[in-house]
Amino acid sequence: MSAPDIGPRERALVAEVMNGTQLSFGPMIERFEAGVAAVARRRFAIAVSSGTAGLHIAVRALGIGLGDTVVTTAFSFVASTNCFLYEGAEPVFADIDPVTFNLDPAAVEDAVRSTERTPIGLLPVDVFGQPCDLPRLAAVAKAHGLRVIEDACEAFGSMRDGRPAGSLGEMATFAFYPNKQMTTGEGGVIVTDDPRLDALARSLRNQGRGAGGDWLTHVRLGYNYRLDELSAAVGVAQLERLDKLIDERDDVARRYSATLAGVDGITLPRLVKETTRMSWFVYVVLLAKGIDRDAVADGLARQHVPTRPYFRPIHLQPYFRERFGDREGSLPVTEDVGRRALALPFHGRLSDESIGYVADALREAISTVS
């Protein structure tokens, strides 16, 4: 489905760490954090072990906890909801825009007004790399006094009207798993402009230690969410060629769209005009209504083309249904997209031959089940 782009510079910086004596909390972490902060145009960046860890810390740092509710999307990876469940808070799901698959600001407004327990927070997700409607969501949050965490884990390097993904809210998070635009292997980063939240997040990622540096003094409950120097070294090298990595993925997405334009039964990804830079995470097509997605995926698999059903909505996941009951029918757009979305193999080095093979296989798989 994906392939990280690791080159000689990454290997050289990892070797530099290995030839030293500091494998944790060293100069690579500092360089990596400074680079991410610059891309996001935020004052502070805090490296952590994963995007999930970053979301959890953000929820904890903002004091969202037992009995609280937060408006978010069900069209996402489960981490964007689990981060609330970890702290005893609960999600209030709002429906999505049918073009971008991001939270619909009007639906967020409706969710805030209609829920029994007034939400205290908002967590939008920049789905597949396209930034959410930052201005309108910020206005809704301000009108209702909502604490905002932007989940930009899929959108590092994207921009909306020249404003970077990760610039919304008191805290935002990025993730650098190997299928992302750039990678650290595992790893994530929290960004903020608030020095108090920066200090708190640094303590929470490091077992609740204080700023004084005493290794055996813990001033609060914390977690082992640190990122190591080896991973940060990979991140530093990836940041040095981030523009190239993003441009290569954009080129693949454009070639995909050109090649798939003649395939019946699919809708190609669409970018809104406000998206002034798209940093592609995955390439997802929508199958026409009535086409059996699982059958198409099986047909592609028989031709050795892997796919993923991005996303199966969170409110319909088995663990969520077991805990909160069956909520099918509550989010019509989310559920419709969740039944029809199919992610194709995608990374920055896909050849024209590979793209053509996928297109032919998809055309054949659709014709077989239609």
Residue 294 is part of a domain; what is its CATH number?
Answer: 3.90.1150.10
Q: Is residue 164 part of a domain?
A: yes
Query: What are the structure tokens assigned to 171, written together?
Result: 């805290």
- Domain end (from 225, 240, 255): 240
- Whether residue 118 is predicted with pLDDT greater than 90 in this model: the reply is yes
Q: What are residue 203's DSSP bridge partners?
A: none
Same domain as 43, residue 187 = yes
When pLDDT is cut at 50, 70 and 90, the band that residue 370 belongs to is: confident
Q: Both tokens of residue 39?
A: 């891309």
Question: Which residues neighbour 88 within 8 Å (Cβ) at sequence distance 6 or greater?
Answer: 65, 66, 67, 68
Verify that 76 and 161 share a domain, yes or no. Answer: yes
Residues 66 and 181 in one domain: yes
Domain ranges, residue 66: 8-240
CA distances from 130 to 78, 134, 265 (A): 18, 11, 23
> pLDDT confidence of 214, banded at 50, 70, 90?
confident
The whole-number pLDDT of residue 211 equals 85
Q: Residue 49: inside a domain, yes or no?
A: yes
Beta bridge partners of 175: 188
* pLDDT over threshold 90, residue 116: no
Question: Residue 226: inside a domain, yes or no?
Answer: yes
* Residues 200 and 271 reside in one and the same domain: no
Number of compact structural domains in the chain: 2
On whether both 32 and 164 belong to a single domain, the answer is yes
% of the chain residues with pLDDT over 90: 96
What is the reported pLDDT for 270? 98
pLDDT at 213 > cutoff 80:
no
Residue 206 carries which DSSP code? Answer: B
Q: Model confidence at 212, in pLDDT bands (50, 70, 90)? A: confident
125 and 49 in one domain?
yes
**How many percent of the chain have pLDDT more than 70?**
100
pLDDT given at position 368: 95
155 and 45, same domain (yes or no): yes
* Domain membership flag for residue 3: no
Would you place residue 220 in the very low, low, confident or very high pLDDT band (cuts 50, 70, 90)? very high
Same domain, 339 and 221: no
Residue 1 counted as domain residue: no
Q: Examine the domain organization and report whether 288 and 200 are in the same domain.
A: no
Q: Where a domain ends, among 215, 240, 265?
A: 240
pLDDT the model gives residue 191: 98
Report yes or no on 114 lying in a domain. Answer: yes
> What angle, 0 to 180 degrees and rounded to 10, lies between the N-to-C axes of helices 229-240 and 8-18?
150
Whether residue 355 is contained in a domain is answered as: yes
Q: Indicate which CATH number applies to the domain containing 101.
A: 3.40.640.10
From residue 114, how far is each of 109, 118, 279 by CA, in Å?
9, 9, 34
Residue 267 lies in a domain: yes
299 touches 276 (CB < 8 A): no
Both tokens assigned to 95: 């429906």
- pLDDT in the model for residue 167: 93
Residues 263 and 222 in one domain: no
Average pLDDT over residues 315-333: 96
Within this chain, do residues 82 and 139 fall inside the same structural domain, yes or no?
Answer: yes
pLDDT in tens, 150-169: 999 999 999 999 999 999 89
Are 153 and 262 part of one and the same domain? no
Check pLDDT > 90 for residue 14: yes
pLDDT, tens digit (0-9, with 9 covering 90-100), for 224-276:
999 999 999 999 999 999 999 999 999 999 999 999 998 999 999 999 999 99
User: Which token pair is 205?
Assistant: 């990622």
pLDDT tens, 63-92? 999 999 999 999 999 999 999 999 999 999
DSSP string, 143-195: HHT-EEEEE-TT-TT-EETTEETT-SBSEEEEE--TTSSS--SS-EEEEES-H
pLDDT value at 362 more than 80: yes
Length of the chain: 370
pLDDT of residue 262: 87
- Rounded alpha-carbon distances, angstroms, from residue 52 to 164, 210, 237, 369: 20, 23, 23, 37
Question: Average pLDDT over the chain, rounded to whole?
Answer: 97
Last residue of a domain, one of 223, 240, 257: 240
The whole-number average pLDDT for the span 131-140 is 96
